[in-house]
Structure 1
Amino acid sequence: MIDRSHIGHTLDPFSVAVEAGRLRFFAKATGQNDPIYSDEATARAAGYPDLPVPPSFLFCLEMESPNPAAIRELLGLDYRRLLHGEQQFTYHALAHAGDTLTFSQRIEDIYDKKAGALEFVVRRTHVVNQHGSPVAELRSVTVMRNG
């Protein structure tokens, strides 16, 4: 069983610069055809200061953590038995190319179902920009299959 005493554990915050080239690549890879995600002039003409961060790109930036496996290692999770259970994004403001975003991760909950056959780890990540203004909250659920 995953040690429930880790509920509330926070990891050290880390910051990531949002790069225009990566935004263009992500837009292309995800089939985003709206030119505001790939052309700075179009984005500015639409009223944005630079290329806006497309939906779900924050998940990619979260993987820029100094140790993307930190929670898995802390909890002793066997990656061969892990499933991605759920992903949610709550946006407070847009981020753009040129911003620096800071990610603060916390283990929000650990629980089980089916008499411990499935264990769930809920991680919440708060994201703020270089001005300390809230950008988003990410919520992720990882499932550990036991037995």
Structure 2
Amino acid sequence: MIDRNWIGKTYGPIKYEACREKMREYAAACKDGRPIFHDKEFGRNNKYGDIIAMPNFAAVYALRGAGLLLLDQEIKLNLAMLVHGAQEFEWFGVVKPYDVITETGKVADIYEKGDLDFIVYEGEARNQSDELVCRARCTFIIRGGGA
């Protein structure tokens, strides 16, 4: 089992500058043609004054610390046996081009079920005005024991 003493270990702060082109590319990859995610002119004339990021773009900025967790040499997760179990987002605001998003996160829980270990990461993303934009939660499963 993964040592439960790692619960509470923190990652970040990690900064991400939202880029209009990356936001458009993400929407295109998701095959979402709504103009609010693509069209600068449409965006300029809406209440946000620009295009906005798709809600699920949060996977790009709100879970950056989860990558650090996976590679953490103190915890030493067995990546060969790791699978992505779940991912959840709770949104509080929109992300616009040039927003600087700062994500901080932590190991929120570690538990086992049978021969599976679970490690839960929670991240919080805030914009340059320190407004909460998104909370994210990601669960990783390690088959046959975690560390």
Residues 90-109 of structure 1 mapped to structure 2, 5 A cutoff: 90-109=90-109
Matched residue SS, 1:130: coil
- Is the Cα contact below 8 Å between 2:85 and 2:139 reproduced in 1? yes
For residues 37-95 of structure 1, give each alpha carbon's deviation from its aligned partner in whole angstroms, at most 9, with x where no partner exists: 01111122232222111021121234656xx6421223211211111100000001111
1:140 corresponds to which residue?
138
Structure 1 position 113, deviation (Å):
0.2
1:36 corresponds to which residue?
36
Matched residue SS, 1:95: coil
Task: Give, in whole Å, the separation in 2 of the partners of 1:56 and 1:76.
Answer: 29
Number of matched pairs? 143
Ranges in structure 2 where 5+ consecutive residues have no aligned partner = none
Residues 15-54 of structure 1 mapped to structure 2, 5 A cutoff: 15-54=15-54
Where do 4+ consecutive residues of structure 1 move more than 6 Å?
none
1:124 corresponds to which residue?
122
Task: Give, in whole Å, the separation in 2 of the partners of 1:60 and 1:94.
Answer: 14
Task: Give, in whole Å, the separation in 2 of the partners of 1:22 and 1:63.
Answer: 16
Task: Give, in whole Å, the separation in 2 of the partners of 1:141 and 1:64.
Answer: 14
Per the alignment, do residues 63 and 110 of structure 1 end up closer, same or farther by CA in structure 2, a change over 3 Å counting? closer
- Is the Cα contact below 8 Å between 2:55 and 2:91 reproduced in 1? no
Q: What TM-score comes out, normalization by structure 1 length?
A: 0.90
- Mean alpha-carbon deviation: is it higher for 50-59 or for 124-133? 50-59
Matched residue SS, 1:124: strand
Q: What TM-score comes out, normalization by structure 2 length?
A: 0.90
Task: Give, in whole Å, the separation in 1 of the partners of 2:55 and 2:139.
Answer: 18
- Mean alpha-carbon deviation: is it higher for 28-37 or for 74-83? 74-83
Per the alignment, do residues 126 and 64 of structure 1 end up closer, same or farther by CA in structure 2, a change over 3 Å counting? closer
2:78 corresponds to which residue?
78
1:59 corresponds to which residue?
59
Per the alignment, do residues 138 and 69 of structure 1 end up closer, same or farther by CA in structure 2, a change over 3 Å counting? closer
